[in-house]
């Protein structure tokens, strides 16, 4: 999802409550709005025993408790860099 304002944070939370994983791209909102959205979603995932992870510049992965995330974006990027270097 690409929210344009804080008002859309509840819609993202509703997806999490429905046990859906959400990728949230905050690149199109002002920094103050992005911080408010992340604060709201952090509380939501905590209440749902879920998780939130930063996967890129202003891009976050929000997961319900039924989803387990393994690895990290830095590991993926390092592997890709090593692969491209060997080519």
Domains and CATH numbers, the chain: 8-86 (3.30.110.150)
User: Would you place residue 47 in the very low, low, confident or very high pLDDT band (cuts 50, 70, 90)?
Assistant: very high
The pLDDT, as a whole number, for residue 76 is 58
Distance between CA atoms of 62 and 48, rounded to whole angstroms? Answer: 11
User: Which is higher by pLDDT, 39 or 67?
Assistant: 39
54: which 2 tokens? 């930063």
User: Would you place residue 30 in the very low, low, confident or very high pLDDT band (cuts 50, 70, 90)?
Assistant: very high
Taking phi over 0 as left and psi of -120 to 50 as alpha, with beta for the rest, 71 belongs to left
Average pLDDT over residues 35-64: 93
Rounded to two decimals, what is the model's pTM?
A: 0.77
pLDDT above 80 for 15 = yes
């Amino acid at each position: 999802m690409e929210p344009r304002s804080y008002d859309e944070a509840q819609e993202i939370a509703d997806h999490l409550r429905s046990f859906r994983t959400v990728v949230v791209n905050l690149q199109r909102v002002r920094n103050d709005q992005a911080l408010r959205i992340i604060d709201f979603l952090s509380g939501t995932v905590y209440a749902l025993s879920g998780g939130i992870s930063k996967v890129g510049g202003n891009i976050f992965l929000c997961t319900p408790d039924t989803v387990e995330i393994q690895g990290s974006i830095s590991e993926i990027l390092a592997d890709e860099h090593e692969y491209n270097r060997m080519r």
